[in-house]
Amino acid sequence: MDPKYELIFQTFPLSSGFVLKNRILMAPMTNSSSNEDGSVTDEEIEYYRVRSGGVAAVITACAYVLPDGKGFPNAIGADRDELIPSLKKLASAIKGEGAKAILQIFHAGRMAIPDLLPDKQPVSASAVAAEREGAVTPREMTEADINKTIQAFSEATRRAIEAGFDGVEIHGANTYLIQQFFSPHSNRRNDKWGGTIEKRMAFPLAVIDAIQKAVKEHAKQPLIVGYRISPEERENPGITMEDTLRFVDALADQNLDYIHVSVRNFWAGSIRDKSDDHSRVIMIREHVGDRVPVIGVGNLYSPDDVIKALKTKVPLLAIGRELIMEPKWVEKIANGKQDEIRITLSLADQKQLVIPDPLWNMITGVPGWFPVED
């Protein structure tokens, strides 16, 4: 291994007691490759397996905790006990290659696809549609709905424990339900779940608390619990960086193993104020200090990009697209073969790279998303 990459391979301890073998995680990426009933397919399991040998941990695509929370077709399900054997196969495949297996759990809220829902009606904190073409106005959740959903996150955690996962990541980012409760755009409530910023934090914090209680009740060994967050929203009113820094102060007190900052570009500044070019990942890291580890992500294409990011003192990094194109990304760096890392795809690569058909169709169907050569 080239000595300049040694920082990538330093171990990292988490508060739960786990020690990550290096600083690289597989980012959670939608692949729409499960069965319609939410069970994982053999093709999907193999896709994860071949990418689990080098990274310290694999964070799966998001798994819905309730039937009314589906955000994607053919998503992973964690909403009922019948899916535990399926989840166990996925966890075993990841862990069998040496990575920690982390199940990302979520509810899509108003971003759910109506045709995938039992009653075709998305729900959210308030009856406010997203600012996007064709958005459906959600039904405002009742107190009973809210309590049911909090419990659903707890139950999904129990299923992850029974399936053998090493952890769960709470998906509080990317405009889904947990973020919708924190956002002043989607949350216009005037009860204990909305209004002030403290009340808009109440639902995310209640979900974390329910998950922590599930760990204490059901886990016979430690469980990683992480939280994914989006720093800002474009909408007005919307989440500002000032809001987020207050929120991460609260998150830092929740005994989490990490905060995962969801951005498209690690180095990018504000999406609300183009004159503010300070990296949102670095801002959050500087704000929380050593109270809770931060995972950065976004446009980290090469080993040199990763080293540059790690030198900012952001301790952990997640990569996604790079592992799709090069499943042995970490191993090749470890073996001094970084020059052999694949940086483009050809239309003949799908089978060799073990990419499921639905994901391959997305890759080849969105021009410019991946560097695909004919």
Active-site residue, from 47, 48, 176, 258: 176
**How far apart, in whole angstroms, are the C-alpha atoms of residue 143 and residue 182?**
16
Answer yes or no: 64 catalytic. no
Q: State whether residue 105 is helix, strand or coil.
A: strand
CA dihedral 125, 130, 134, 139 (to 10 degrees): 10
Q: Which two tokens stand for residue 93?
A: 């495949």
Cis peptide before 237 (omega within 30 of 0): yes
Instruction: Judge whether 79 and 67 are in contact, CB under 8 Å.
Output: yes
Mode of pairing for the β-strands spanning 19-20 and 12-13: antiparallel
**How far apart, in whole angstroms, are the C-alpha atoms of residue 303 and residue 356?**
26
List all residues 6 or more positions away from 265 whose beta carbon is below 8 Å from its beta carbon: 298, 299
Helix (H) or strand (E) segment spanning residue 63: strand 63-64
Amino acid at site 9: F
Bridge partners (DSSP) listed for residue 111: none
**How far apart, in whole angstroms, are the C-alpha atoms of residue 374 and residue 368?**
13
In 3D space, the residue among 157, 182, 14 whose CA is nearest the CA of residue 87 turns out to be 157
**How far apart, in whole angstroms, are the C-alpha atoms of residue 295 and residue 293?**
7
List all residues 6 or more positions away from 79 whose beta carbon is below 8 Å from its beta carbon: 38, 64, 65, 66, 67, 69, 152, 156
DSSP 181-200: HH-TTT----STTSSSHHHH
Catalytic positions: 176
